Amino acid sequence: MARGKPFSDRMAATMRLRPAQVRAVPPETVVCLCEDVTRAEIDAACQAGARDVNQMKQFTRCGMGPCQGRLCGDVAAEILAAQVGTREAAAFEAAGADGLLVFPPNSWALGHDPECVVLHHRTVADATGLPLMLYGAPVGAGAMAYDAATLRRLAGLEQVVAIKEGSWEVAQYEANLRLLTSLRADFKVLGSGDEHLLTSYIIGSTGSQVSLAAVVPDLVVALWNAADAGDWGAARQCHEALYPLAVAIYRDAPGGRATARIKHALHHLGAIPDPRLRPPQPPLDAGERKRVEEALRRATA
């Protein structure tokens, strides 16, 4: 016997807006049906300083009705991202930035319409004349990593000139490198896998864009200079010094602790006065501190 559609699917059919339509949504259009919130109200919340979904809810109650954002959440989040991205792009350009690295919203890890990705970058591009760098997310970051079809479309945007290639998987890194440079010979691919920078340089890279450079910049630069000169013996020596630190910061369990470990390393080096983190991230335990400090000692010896 045929089964009817779930109630949530039936309700979703009444929500005619889709994230890819955000540009064309008139101000008077109701985005949140439950709370009767219009596009104009969401825009006003952004202009008043709302920077994330929780702040948007405080200003407008969008997503706080019976559906709890299941119907309007993706559209509202895309409006928010477009507004914040536009405002910050213009501010960075005014402050003297030479280019912008455009990150995807964290919500995309759960899934997104490919049109949202193109819209997100086009909106930022429209707000600034600066060149843009894509962020290629790790393959383990859910749906956040861009597939080949999406990368093709993004590479078609004139202002998009480079990618921080953070697939964190060597085969995917090479696939994306080959795709993007085949589409545009001048497209810059910068390795972003701190544990396998040497591998990225061997395969091909225009440089690197890694957070580990905040901790040991001289070593990261030395690795690039050796690889760029074709001195693979010297490059391997740099890699051997860098690798344990990359593992201690990025790979060791539990996951998601890179920021905490980087802050501890910077504090240990005297570069920042305080390693504390915002809740709910806990401080490093004794074992984590010991591993980071030992790897840091080897990297700076």
**Token pair of 264 as six digits:** 């501890």
Specify the pLDDT at position 154. 98
The residue annotated as part of the active site, out of 57, 164, 188, 263, is 164
Taking a C-beta distance cutoff of 8 angstroms, is the pair 173, 200 a contact? yes
Q: How do residues 185-197 score in pLDDT, each as one tens digit?
A: 999 999 999 999 9
Which pLDDT score, from 0 to 100, does residue 91 have?
Answer: 84
Least confident range from 8-17, 48-57, 252-261: namely 8-17
- Beta pairing class for 188-191 and 160-165: parallel
Are 74 and 63 spatial neighbours (Cβ–Cβ below 8 Å)?
A: no
| Residue 133: strand, helix, or coil | strand
DSSP 20: G
All residues at 6 or more sequence positions from 145 whose CB lies less than 8 Å from its CB, including other chains: 136, 137, 138, 139, 167, 172
Q: Which DSSP helix (H) or strand (E) runs through 66?
A: none
Q: pLDDT tens across 164-174, in order?
A: 999 999 999 99
CA atoms within 13 A on the CB side of 112: 27
**Is residue 228 over pLDDT 90?**
yes
| Position 198, amino acid | L
Q: Which residues contact 117 (CB under 8 A, 6 or more apart)?
A: 104, 108, 146, 150, 153, 154
Average pLDDT value for residue range 95-117: 88
User: How far is residue 15's CA from residue 107's CA, in Å, rounded to a whole number?
Assistant: 19
The pLDDT value recorded for residue 167 is 96
At residue 162's C-alpha, the angle toward residues 156 and 166, to 5°, is: 115
Q: Is the pLDDT score of 149 beyond 70?
A: yes
**Would the pLDDT of 52 be above 90?**
no
Question: Using an 8 Å Cβ cutoff, are 154 and 162 in contact?
Answer: no
* Nearest-angstrom CA–CA distance, 78 and 24: 13
**135 part of the active site:** yes
102 φ, ψ to 5°? -105, 110
Q: Give the pLDDT band (50/70/90) at residue 69.
A: low
| Residue 250 banded pLDDT, cuts 50, 70, 90 | very high
Which H or E run contains 191? strand 188-191
1, pLDDT greater than 50: no
Rounded CA-CA distance 107/181 in Å is: 29
Ramachandran bin of 273, using left for φ above 0, alpha for ψ from -120 to 50, beta for the remaining angles: alpha
Look at residue 11 in the predicted model and tell me its pLDDT.
47
So what's the pLDDT on residue 22? 57
Q: 254 preceded by cis ω (within 30°)? A: yes
Residue 190, beta-bridge partner list: 164
Res 65 pLDDT > 90: no
